[in-house]
Amino acid sequence: MTFRERTLRIFRHEPVENIVYQPRIEHWYNYNRRQGTLPAPYDRMELLEVYDHLGCSIRPYHYFNGCLKIEEHPDVRTEVRPTHDGHIAFTITPVGTLVTRVEVSELARHTVEYPVKTAADVDVLEWLLRNRRAWFDMELFRRQDELVGDRTAPMMYLPRVNMQRILIELVGWENALFMLADDRPLLERLVRIIDETDEIWLQVVLDCPIEIFNFGDNIDEYLLSPPLFEEFVLPVYQDRARRFRERGKFTHSHFDGNVKHLLKYLQVSGLDGFEALTPQPQGDLTIQEMKEALGGNLILLDGIPMTAFLPSTPYEEFERQTREIIETFSPNLILGISDEPSPVCDIERVRRAGEIMEEYAR
């Protein structure tokens, strides 16, 4: 079987001769390429060539995410002004302007001023979201599908759901807590606006040829408490998982960081799997807690903590953790690194994890 066939069969819970290994090395590759620190022979390779050299599959979000086109109203324009440490973006609409300030470093980008700060900003955002249109770029999909080939099955991650978009992209964690305490009706209105306007692009992806979708929500209980998850996010997961399943498609969500008190929701979420659940010592979960929460029906994507791939971690511990993940979660497993390998990881350990996986098949 190809990686593509195996990936689909794992989600369908059909027999496979081996699991699939998708280490998600994009951050490691892109950072070291910019810095000129890619080790040989990877310094002479394009990204797909590195994956082929490592003998592993890919998690192809960045190849297919662009197929979902979300276009603003023709009367909307964006102005970006550079700053000494990033940029300020002005989203200008007929009913007002939203302002976002971002700081950019070699490793990451951080929003330091969020676009929604007042009730008037909510009005502007509502106009913006309700006047968008969405469509699926089939020609781009065909080109990307041909490029990726049998390295994997096509996958796409979707815009964050209501509260996660509010906390991470629109309002920010601190201001969202003040909104929750001081003007809960405004927060609930913002949630309702997001849920309703998501329908503009949801129908597009329900009709598209991609079969596997990720809710790229970066769920962490320190950011999104269990009560907020249960009230706002869980009903959306349940509704969307049902609708995708009715169309023969599969869904999983990105849970990383600390999620111990959210594990009770996994089985009732309606989702087919969970990506990036992170065991100790990096996350707050034991392997046994992860296994009990996922049971025999939910798929784990990733699993090996990123810390196992750092040169400072004893090699024997890397081998032990890799084997424990494979033995505990196979065959409901798309093996990978929770969350992603660091730019300073030992890339030979990334390669070795795939060899260990193949040993089990033999």
On the question of pLDDT at 105 being above 90, the answer is no
Cβ-Cβ contacts under 8 Å for 9 (sequence gap 6 or more): 1, 15, 16
Residue 225 falls inside a structural domain: yes
Assigned token pair, 267:
């089985």
With 90 as the cut, is the pLDDT of residue 106 above it?
Answer: no
44 within a domain of the structure (yes/no): yes
Closest alpha carbon to 212 in 2, 12, 73, 19 = 12
Q: How many residues does this entry show for the chain?
A: 362
Dihedral, 226, 227, 233, 234 alpha carbons, nearest 10: 80
Would you state the torsion angle of the CA atoms of residues 102, 104, 108, 114, taken in this order, to the nearest 10 degrees? Answer: -10
Residues 6 or more apart whose CB falls under 8 angstroms from that of 162 comprise 190, 191, 194, 195, 232, 233, 236
The pLDDT value given to residue 357 = 96
Give the pLDDT confidence score for residue 97 in this predicted structure. Answer: 98
Backbone angles phi, psi at 130, to 5 degrees: -75, -15
The per-residue pLDDT for 361 is: 85
- The answer to the question of residue 46 being in a domain is yes
Per-residue pLDDT reduced to its tens digit, 142-199: 999 999 999 999 999 999 999 999 999 999 999 999 999 999 999 999 999 999 999 9
Kindly state whether residue 130 falls inside one of the protein's structural domains.
Answer: no
Q: How confident is the model at residue 244 (pLDDT cuts 50, 70, 90)?
A: very high
Q: 288 burial class (0-12, 13-18, 19+ CB within 10 angstroms)?
A: exposed
Give the separation between CA 340 and CA 309, rounded to whole angstroms. 10
321 confidence band (pLDDT: 50, 70, 90): very high
Q: Does any domain span residue 172? A: no
Domain harbouring 278, CATH code: 3.20.20.210
Place of tokens 């600390």: 258
- Residue 108 is predicted with a pLDDT of 84
Residue 264: which domain range? Answer: 3-69+152-161+198-361
pLDDT of residue 362: 78
Q: Which two tokens stand for residue 252?
A: 């999983």
Residue 183 placed within a domain: no
Arithmetic mean of pLDDT, 322-350: 97
Q: Count Cβ atoms below 10 Å from residue 59 Cβ, excluding itself.
A: 24
Does residue 24 lie within any of the structural domains? yes
Give the pLDDT band of residue 107 (cuts 50, 70, 90).
confident
**Percent of the residues in the chain that have a pLDDT greater than 90, as a whole number:** 97
Q: How confident is the model at residue 257 (pLDDT cuts 50, 70, 90)?
A: confident
- Provide the domain count of the chain: 1
Q: Let me know if residue 63 belongs to a domain.
A: yes
pLDDT in tens, 53-102: 999 999 999 999 999 999 999 999 999 999 999 999 999 999 999 999 99
Mean pLDDT for 295-314 is 98
Predicted local distance difference test score (pLDDT) of residue 303:
98
Q: Hunting for tokens 């192809």 — which residue is that? A: 60
**Banded pLDDT at 278 (limits 50, 70, 90):** very high
Q: Residue 318: pLDDT band by 50, 70, 90 thresholds?
A: very high
Question: What tokens does 42 get?
Answer: 């990877």
Question: What integer best gives the mean pLDDT of the chain?
Answer: 97
Residue 54: its pLDDT value, please? 96
In sequence order, what E strands does the chain have?
Answer: 20-21, 68-71, 77-83, 86-93, 96-104, 109-113, 133-136, 155-158, 212-219, 250-255, 273-275, 299-305, 333-338
Confidence of residue 314 (pLDDT cuts 50, 70, 90): very high
